[in-house]
Structure 1
Amino acid sequence: MSPIVSPLADFDDLPGWAGDDHLAAFETFRHSCGPTAHAPETGSLGIDAAAVHVLCIKAQGLRIEDAAAARRFFESNFVPMRVNGPAKAFFTGYFEPEVLGSRQKTKRFSTPLLKRPDDLVKLTPEAHPKTLDAKLEWARRTESGLVEHPDRAAIMDGALDGRGLELVWLEDPVDAFFIHVQGSARIRLTDGTSMRVGFAGKTGHPYSSVARMLVEAGEFAPEDLTADVLKAWLKAHPERARDLIARNRSYIFFRELTGLDPDLGPVGAAGVQLTAGRSIAVDRRLHTLGTPVYVAVDLPPEPGQQPMPYRRLMVAGDTGSAIVGPARGDIFVGSGEAAGLFAGRIRHRGDLYVLVPRTGAVSDGER
């Protein structure tokens, strides 16, 4: 058995398991293999994607309407396992921003979110040019072959201007950058309508944390730099903000999303809409999307208050550039300003568990 995951004796070994709302978790799990879901892929931890999918389809065929029955479903079909690491699991939070915007450029709305260029190519290990950095996951198609795509600094300086890629225009470049970090947004337009945007691709360059840059520069102590503090500082220092943001070479492209359930979150990497408090982003290279994931961590409800026990069965439905390693989770907490404030305060260590199908197994061997 891999040292990364270790089986528990029983579900009662999961802290707070009996007190969770298993019906809410069951509904999220059943939703995870809906008609828009991407074909499941097994991560390198070896949790069988096909076995998870079979159980999700089974869940869709059941009439479960109470928490006790939902709990029995999970306990009958899965085995709980702890995800091990050199330290406790590390959790952050993310959300879906809500901002004002315009479909036309105006003096007020002059910062664009860009659509995916038609020459942007997703690279695969089997077809990765030796001339490009092995870490690049995306490239630009040219007549002479695949080349590195312009990075954020080049795009900010106009590398993609004149190609009609502007999807929507926002008021503030800092708001636009935070949408890049979150990967989605709800935008209230000047004509009274609204739109939702989601991830469509990226340049493929490595992600660099602006917050970490400020900590390393001695501007803040790590424990003081929450997301709301970071946003306020960037808006108060526009010139320095532009320089710091440009140093994060990763740049995200967006697409407009239509036909979404307004009560659910954005579309995650698994292809289905996320559920606030029940969806979590993981490292998809290791984890299998669609897997039930149990989180045990203490989170602060408000600044200055005592930590709040957070014991939730969630579903791995998303991923992110900064979500790296087996014991790493990014909790989707909802949409709007209040969700953003809560998400920005989550930087806590706790315990992470996966529920492995009884019909499948975590394979042995090298990880």
Structure 2
Amino acid sequence: MSMATVARWGLAAILGTLAACSSTPPLPTPASPAVRPQPAAAARWVAADWRDLPGWGDDDLPAAWPALLASCQRPAPGWAEFCARAALQSPADAMEATLLLMKHLRPWRLAGDGGDTGLLTGYFEPQVAASRTRQGAFQWPVLALPSDPALRRLPRRDIDANPRFDALALAWLDDPFALLQLQVQGSGRLMLRDASGAERASRVAWAGHNDQPFQSVARALLDRGEVADAQPRTLSDWARRNPAQVRDAMAVNPRVVYFREEPLPDLTLGPRGAQGVPLTPGRSVAVDRAHIPLGTPLWLDSTEPWSPGAPATPLRRLVLAQDTGSAITGAVRADLFWGWGDDAALRASRTRQPLRLWALLPQGLTP
């Protein structure tokens, strides 16, 4: 009998008996209801059993532990005791991690007005070539936030034509659609080369926008038959073939996002999400904080990103609610952070699958 079979058999037994044999008393319910998660009225948190979670026991939970401990750096009210235990009892394997979570947490099924099935999408951190100076193909500026409110609110076409904005350029990109991608995602990595040819990475994070409405440049090109799809490589290839048309194409979207630069001393860390902790690829999600408090562990039941000709494969794992997004609304809604670079971009672009969610709360803490 394989270790995996033994683990599954043992977990099945544990699922049926753990609640009765726990020797550790449940964590106390906070005295004040003000410290409990307060989902919006449209959300329903339904008490669940561990056996209700599809695929529970099959996830590589130690891979999620760094994200969990990151959330514990800023624990929500009612989480301090569990976080202390999690930091002291770093699990050696998936079974130990499973037992620790089952002993101290309780699952709650999330549902909204549309029932218990929602939508999973994906996002990523662009990684783009950049130059500190405007030269050659590097003609597209990553702009800092103007101090003058009148300048800040200008539409894209006016910004492109105004030389005053050159002084606000943090860096210059050689691909207009890489810049647009950076603005849509809200943060990114600049890969800068110095005079010696050495490469250095820097991060730019969202600092504001010009209060103009967003319009899809890719949709406009698709509607005119200029491109066959909206993949980043397709759009960049179109820009290289049609340099004289690029500025007019970009001006379809009047919105411009401004950035601030941040150091990037550790290339293995993602950008900071709304919770204020670095995002972990494949383990951090953006949620609607009106329904799910930041820092909440979630069990995600969906399918892997779509791939041409491939059958649907289950995507079931522990993730942490560590970010938010303006398009992420509803109780059963999550945006999965896939990381950075081309592979993450492809996975994010293909992630649009049905979703079910369970929230894990400490014993005694109720929604």
TM-score range for the pair, normalised by the shorter chain length: 0.7 to 0.9
Structure 1: segments with no counterpart, 5+ residues: 41-48, 120-139, 363-367
Equivalent position of 1:265 in the other structure: 270
Equivalent position of 1:15 in the other structure: 54
Whole-Å Cα distance in 2 between the matches of residues 92 and 176 of structure 1? Answer: 21
Of Structure 1 and Structure 2, the greater helix share is in 2
Pairing 1:1-367 to 2, within 5 Å after superposition: 2=41, 4-34=43-73, 49-52=76-79, 55-75=82-102, 76-86=104-114, 88-118=117-147, 140=149, 149-158=153-162, 161=165, 164-191=167-194, 192-203=198-209, 204-212=211-219, 217=223, 219=225, 225-226=230-231, 228-229=233-234, 232=237, 242-243=247-248, 245-300=250-305, 302-362=307-367
Contact 1:227 1:345 in 2 (8 A): no
Aligned to 1:50, the other structure's residue is in SS state coil
Contact 2:106 2:360 in 1 (8 A): yes
Q: TM-score, normalised by structure 2?
A: 0.75
Deviation at residue 311 of structure 1 after TM alignment: 0.5
Contact 2:120 2:334 in 1 (8 A): yes
Whole-Å Cα distance in 2 between the matches of residues 54 and 227 of structure 1? Answer: 45
Contact 1:116 1:200 in 2 (8 A): no
Contact 1:80 1:355 in 2 (8 A): yes
Task: Name the amino acid aligned to 2:208.
Answer: K
Deviation at residue 174 of structure 1 after TM alignment: 1.0
Relative CO higher for 1 or 2, CA cutoff 8 Å, sep ≥ 6?
A: 1
- Render the CA deviation track for 1:231-256: whole Å, top value 9, x for unaligned: 55566556666445434444322222
Task: Name the amino acid aligned to 1:96.
Answer: E
Equivalent position of 1:133 in the other structure: none
Q: Compute the RMSD of aligned alpha carbons.
A: 3.2
Contact 1:21 1:67 in 2 (8 A): yes
Deviation at residue 29 of structure 1 after TM alignment: 0.8
Deviation at residue 349 of structure 1 after TM alignment: 1.7
Aligned residues: 322
- Render the CA deviation track for 1:23-66: whole Å, top value 9, x for unaligned: 222221111243xx5xx7xxxxxxxx312455335423433332
Equivalent position of 1:43 in the other structure: none
Counterparts in 2 of 1:9 and 1:78: CA distance versus 1, 3 Å: closer
Deviation at residue 193 of structure 1 after TM alignment: 2.6
Counterparts in 2 of 1:50 and 1:97: CA distance versus 1, 3 Å: same
Deviation at residue 316 of structure 1 after TM alignment: 1.3
Task: Name the amino acid aligned to 2:56.
Answer: W
Whole-Å Cα distance in 2 between the matches of residues 160 and 330 of structure 1? Answer: 37
Q: TM-score, normalised by structure 1?
A: 0.75
Deviation at residue 86 of structure 1 after TM alignment: 1.9
Counterparts in 2 of 1:148 and 1:198: CA distance versus 1, 3 Å: closer
Contact 1:23 1:71 in 2 (8 A): no
Percent of residue pairs identical: 36
Counterparts in 2 of 1:230 and 1:273: CA distance versus 1, 3 Å: same
- Render the CA deviation track for 1:110-145: whole Å, top value 9, x for unaligned: 2111123345xxxxxxxxxxxxxxxxxxxx3x8xxx
Counterparts in 2 of 1:114 and 1:100: CA distance versus 1, 3 Å: same
Contact 2:305 2:352 in 1 (8 A): no
Contact 2:332 2:355 in 1 (8 A): no
